[in-house]
């Protein structure tokens, strides 16, 4: 596991800031970075005027920066305190230990494993968990440990305990529900706040819950969608990270919706995971700011 | 009002057929058209396998066709009876007398009037009705009679009576709810089955009812949509004709959603109206077949 | 014509900045705004790493700002000089005097006039010029002076002289080529740098030049597009402001491409004009930064 | 290799027809299918009015059809001759032996292999050929024979001879150029007419040739695209099967275009391959009819 307090010299640091909106915020942060020799690579900010909350993402090169990784937050403390900031510090070369949870359908799993192998994701994938044995072969193809944890209503509590043990043991920081057709209890969700990404196969909030393609077919919609969001204890209600749609017509039967939807699910989930791993997502209330 | 039984010689006839799916349907209809000298310009068909219903749209040139406009359905009767067909006959040069109902927002009204003036729609627009006086000027710009019918809950019944009188008097065949922010009662809706097209400013079934852009903002969606559908007595539940979406981000405040949504509403409504006026929509149950 | 040096108290000021990328830029500008009591409404920035150019758009409220409109740039001079900035100052309530040039097709003209009438554009439209007389009626509907300037190759120079006279006389700041099917000479283009917006009915750089829908049909593309760009002396080569596409199929004949394309052209042009009028476009080289 | 003349009883037959447009065509074909007890599952047709060519795809169940697979075309001969039809007969359960050619980038290769493994493609993949050794591991993961055929200009002829030998030996019916960054000579292309599918990483005809993302970046486009087409001897000029685009902005540097483009390439190529394998593509001239 990479030591995130030891970024490489050529890496950059990322500050993710949220605080009540006040004058002088941008000046204070940019002056801080400038004063310590930081070279801003990317800066983006947003003010939610309704909630009067200010968000900022500042990425700056560590080369020539006169503070060490562990000195940054302490040095920034006067500013974070003055403006009541919530401030996260990340490094561009961090690698998140990631578990993929999957049921029977393998398309998102295949897609994530391929992206990981091609080096597209700033993640390591040391664990795949499934309630269905069928994807053990996929895991084996990519050399990733696979754990089969079958589940039925009476055993859910025991199964989740085993799952939590596996996640802890593998030092998992991010959990991806890659078409994992089980609802996680609050016990699991609360342990990984904003660190469980789910893909739902509809354009939320349309077609919450089970069998959304069947629901879409019955309603006669002309577009179907997919939604990647952080899991919360309310089913399909968590903060949305990314969505997209594809056109369908009366010609498309349910298997066609499923087929067209698969491509959407893969791409929407992959984009959301990329945003997360590149420290581009800020959550507030039940919404996200995605600095894309 | 054009006499639809007298299409021009260079016009074509359109058969819209729905019936239980059985072998020999396509052969029977195409053989009929061929035997009478018809030249098929466009043919499209669809089978809903779940419902076992067959749909067909056949358009053929009247030039060289050996039956007069009024002789076609009688001559087809043996086939329609044998296959229990519901069969509509239309002509490509028909012009539908159309009323536009609007409240305060004028963008869909402007758009429809401009398309009508440019000859893009097979419609005539002899009547604009509004519960808000503000669009009288728009109507005057385009020389269309404008009727102001203010409405409040106690007066709704009286107002609808007046509206029905105006629609009847102007021989209206199609009613377009171009952001008409009132719910029509069953009395009105039932008189114009599949002849009232509404534009709802969300991606249905998400955000049914009032203030959908506010709902979308609160939910934090990454795309907003618009839906054109036939009005039924269930609010926002009628058969969907067309939908589309546009991307939004955390940067978009409610006025931005409203602004981006306006363009969607215009285009989605205009496409739905065009499909309807070109006899490309077949309704069954609560869904549409759109032969686009 | 509004006096742009006299914005209303509730307006905001917009700084559009471009300069060589250097450390301390953001800190200097944000500190300037903060020091004078400005409340940043919106800030966005971009660094073109290849060209090493920095761009920024800062919008701040004038209420509580301690400098008058005419004092801002002089007070900022030490910073603009130190960083070799190109810096434009705009005000959010400015209204650009705009001329629309059009040939025979009226859809973009209608659309722009309707948006103007509905108050969607920060523009006034005191002049419509056409090489075709047919749109005089449209202009009359909206009460806008219409000038017919027919053109043929030998008369082009005379016609352009007349056009320039009309533009000058009406104090025109922005020229919109709303399907104006004539090429403007360098004489005209050079007088209105980055102030002539053209809509081209293809996805540039595909299908440069004449009859792009015919070219698209012949090539068998599966999507058609539209492109809004600043006119330069190179035909269809100017900086692109906005583009979009719509799906087509083998079923779409050229008139269908034209019809589908019209909606695209309207929407793409309107978006580009909105970006321009809201001071969100920065041009550099042959590209744009659009702070959307 | 499946014997395509022995489809399973529950399979369906697909007729792909192209001929000069004449009256009675549809009647003749549908009557033929009906007379022999065929149950039409799907029928679609198209007339290119400019070229006066008629296209039809008819899919009917073999259950209850009174002709054997090898008897269908002979029985249809009177009709095909009378109407000068080009008529292909396919079966829904055929499985095309497919070779994937790839260079260094693996994303399309991974995607196709995963789809194949999940049973999404009616294909078998017994051969991967690359001019770059790096993807041998990917092939091994999926248990597919991998052949490394390095190429440089002087050796191209020898390399292509070896390639043709491998394709023949493996009874290859379809060749997919999954980001194979080499131009195939006419010798190869002519042996596999309409059976080589290439993915080009631009919205053709924009950015033909090398480094299209660099070209797109330099032009400052607001959308990037991908195009799947049949390879012909003219580079990037073959009949287009499928295209799509994704939005980019000034924030996207070339690596971002490459990253966003990868997802497009995967999905666009996969759709084109699916259309091809499901017998939904008809080529005429340099265009395609895709019955989607």
CA distance, residue D77 to nearest chain A CA (Å): 31
| Geometric angle at alpha carbon A159, from A153 and A162, rounded to 5° | 170
User: Stretch D45-54: mean pLDDT, rounded?
Assistant: 87
Q: What is the pLDDT of residue C73?
A: 97
Q: What is the pLDDT of residue A7?
A: 86
The answer to whether the beta carbons of residues B240 and B204 sit under 8 Å apart is yes
Task: Give first-to-last CA distance, chain D, whole Å.
Answer: 27
pLDDT level of residue D117 (50, 70, 90 thresholds): very high
Q: What is the pLDDT of residues A230-241, one digit of tens each?
A: 999 988 899 999
Q: What is the pLDDT of residues A55-102, one digit of tens each?
A: 999 999 999 999 999 999 999 999 999 999 999 999 999 999 999 999
pLDDT > 50? residue A3 = no
pTM score above 0.90: yes
Q: What is the pLDDT of residues B61-96, one digit of tens each?
A: 999 999 999 999 999 999 999 999 999 999 999 999
The residues of C assigned a catalytic role are 236
- Given an 8 Å threshold on Cβ–Cβ distance, is A205 in contact with B206? yes
> Which chain A positions have a beta carbon within 8 Å of B287's beta carbon?
219-220, 250
pLDDT > 90? residue D212 = yes
CA distance, residue B105 to nearest chain C CA (Å): 9
Q: E strands of chain A, at which residues? A: 12-20, 39-48, 53-61, 86-91, 96-102, 123-130, 146-148, 174-177, 196-200, 223-230, 240-247, 281-284, 287-290
Q: What is the pLDDT of residues B115-167, one digit of tens each?
A: 999 999 999 999 999 999 999 999 999 999 999 999 888 888 999 999 999 99
Q: What is the pLDDT of residue B154?
A: 86
Q: What is the pLDDT of residue C76?
A: 97
> Which chain B positions have a beta carbon within 8 Å of A245's beta carbon?
203, 223, 245
pLDDT > 60? residue A5 = no
CA distance, residue B47 to nearest chain D CA (Å): 7
Q: What is the pLDDT of residue C272?
A: 98
Q: What is the pLDDT of residue C105?
A: 96
pLDDT > 70? residue D22 = yes
Q: What is the pLDDT of residue D10?
A: 84
Peptide bond into A205 cis (omega under 30): yes
Residue of B nearest to D23 (CA): B39
pLDDT level of residue D5 (50, 70, 90 thresholds): low
Give the domain A96-290 fold. Answer: Rossmann fold (3.40.50)
User: Stretch A5-25: mean pLDDT, rounded?
Assistant: 88
The answer to whether the beta carbons of residues B13 and B91 sit under 8 Å apart is yes
pLDDT > 80? residue B1 = no
- Given an 8 Å threshold on Cβ–Cβ distance, is B267 in contact with C270? no
Q: What is the pLDDT of residue C2?
A: 41
Residue of A nearest to D248 (CA): A292
Higher-confidence position of D42 and D267: D267
pLDDT level of residue A49 (50, 70, 90 thresholds): confident
Residue A209 buriedness (CB in 10 A; 0-12 / 13-18 / 19+): exposed
- Given an 8 Å threshold on Cβ–Cβ distance, is A26 in contact with C40? yes
Q: What is the pLDDT of residue B135?
A: 96
Q: What is the pLDDT of residue C203?
A: 96
Residues of chain C with pLDDT under 50: 1-4
Residue of D nearest to B38 (CA): D23
Q: At the top level of CATH, which class does the domain A12-91 belong to?
A: alpha beta
Q: What is the pLDDT of residues B167-193, one digit of tens each?
A: 999 999 999 999 998 889 999 999 999
CA distance, residue A81 to nearest chain D CA (Å): 32
Which residues of C lie closer than 8 Å to B, measured between beta carbons?
106-107, 110-111, 114, 117-118, 120, 138, 141-142, 251, 259, 262-263, 267, 270-271, 292
- The sign of the dihedral angle between the CA atoms of D27, D28, D29, D34 is positive
- Given an 8 Å threshold on Cβ–Cβ distance, is B110 in contact with C107? no
| Mutation target vs D (from C46, C222, C234, C287; most D CBs, 10 A cutoff) | C222
CA distance C215 to B54: 37
Cβ-based neighbours of A93, under 8 Å, separated by 6 or more:
A2, A7, A8, A11, A122
- What is the bridge-based pairing of β-strands A123-130 and A96-102? parallel
CA distance B76 to B87: 9
> Can you tell me whether residue A3 is helix, strand or coil?
coil
Query: For chain B, which chains pass the contact test of at least 3 CB pairs under 8 Å?
Result: A, C, D
Query: For chain C, which chains pass the contact test of at least 3 CB pairs under 8 Å?
Result: A, B, D
pLDDT > 60? residue A211 = yes
Query: For chain D, which chains pass the contact test of at least 3 CB pairs under 8 Å?
Result: A, B, C
| Mutation target vs C (from B41, B102, B110; most C CBs, 10 A cutoff) | B110
> Can you tell me whether residue B216 is helix, strand or coil?
helix
- Given an 8 Å threshold on Cβ–Cβ distance, is C220 in contact with D207? no
List chain C domain ranges.
12-91, 96-290
- The sign of the dihedral angle between the CA atoms of A155, A158, A161, A163 is negative
Q: What is the pLDDT of residue A209?
A: 87
| Geometric angle at alpha carbon A274, from A270 and A275, rounded to 5° | 120
> Which chain D positions have a beta carbon within 8 Å of B34's beta carbon?
23-24, 26-27
Q: What is the pLDDT of residue B4?
A: 47
Report the candidate in D231, D131, D230, D147 with the shortest Cα–Cα distance to residue D185: D231
Mean pLDDT of chain D: 94
Q: What is the pLDDT of residue B41?
A: 82
- Given an 8 Å threshold on Cβ–Cβ distance, is B205 in contact with A222? no
pLDDT level of residue B5 (50, 70, 90 thresholds): low
User: Stretch D119-130: mean pLDDT, rounded?
Assistant: 97
Q: E strands of A231-269, at which residues? A: 240-247
> Which chain D positions have a beta carbon within 8 Å of B60's beta carbon?
none
The answer to whether the beta carbons of residues B15 and B57 sit under 8 Å apart is yes
CA distance D163 to D184: 11
> Can you tell me whether residue B234 is helix, strand or coil?
coil
Radius of gyration of chain B (CA): 21
User: Stretch D220-230: mean pLDDT, rounded?
Assistant: 98
CA distance, residue C16 to nearest chain B CA (Å): 19
- Given an 8 Å threshold on Cβ–Cβ distance, is C106 in contact with B120? no
CA distance B86 to B83: 9
> Among A30, A41, A42, whose Cβ lies nearest the Cβ of C30?
A30
User: Stretch D284-291: mean pLDDT, rounded?
Assistant: 94
Q: What is the pLDDT of residues B21-47, one digit of tens each?
A: 988 888 899 899 999 999 888 888 888
């Amino acid at each position: 596991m990479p030591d995130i307090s030891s970024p490489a010299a050529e890496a950059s640091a990322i500050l993710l800031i949220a605080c009540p909106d006040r004058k002088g915020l941008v000046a204070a942060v940019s002056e801080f970075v400038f004063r310590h020799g930081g070279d801003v690579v990317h800066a983006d900010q947003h003010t939610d005027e309704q909630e009067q909350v200010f968000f900022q993402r500042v990425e700056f090169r560590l080369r020539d920066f006169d503070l060490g990784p562990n000195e940054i937050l302490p040095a920034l403390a006067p500013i974070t305190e003055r403006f009541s900031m919530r401030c996260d510090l990340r490094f561009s070369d961090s690698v998140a230990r990631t578990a993929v949870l999957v049921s029977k359908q393998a398309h998102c799993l295949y897609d994530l494993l391929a992206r990981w192998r091609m080096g597209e994701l700033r993640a390591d994938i040391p664990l795949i968990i499934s309630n269905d044995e069928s994807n053990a072969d996929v895991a084996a193809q990519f050399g990733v440990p696979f754990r089969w944890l079958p589940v039925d209503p009476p055993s859910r509590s025991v199964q989740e305990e085993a799952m939590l043990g596996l996640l802890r043991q593998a030092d998992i920081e991010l959990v991806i529900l890659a078409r994992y057709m089980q609802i996680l209890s609050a016990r699991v969700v609360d342990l990984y706040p904003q660190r469980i990404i789910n893909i739902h196969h509809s354009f939320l909030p349309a077609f919450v819950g089970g069998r959304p393609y069947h629901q879409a077919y019955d309603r006669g919609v002309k577009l179907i969608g997919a939604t990647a969001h952080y899991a919360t204890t309310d089913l399909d209600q968590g903060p949305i990270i990314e969505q997209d749609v594809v056109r369908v017509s009366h010609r498309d039967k349910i298997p066609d919706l499923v087929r067209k939807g698969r491509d959407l699910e893969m791409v929407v989930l992959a984009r959301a995971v990329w945003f997360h791993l590149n420290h581009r997502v800020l959550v507030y209330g039940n919404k996200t700011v995605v600095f894309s």
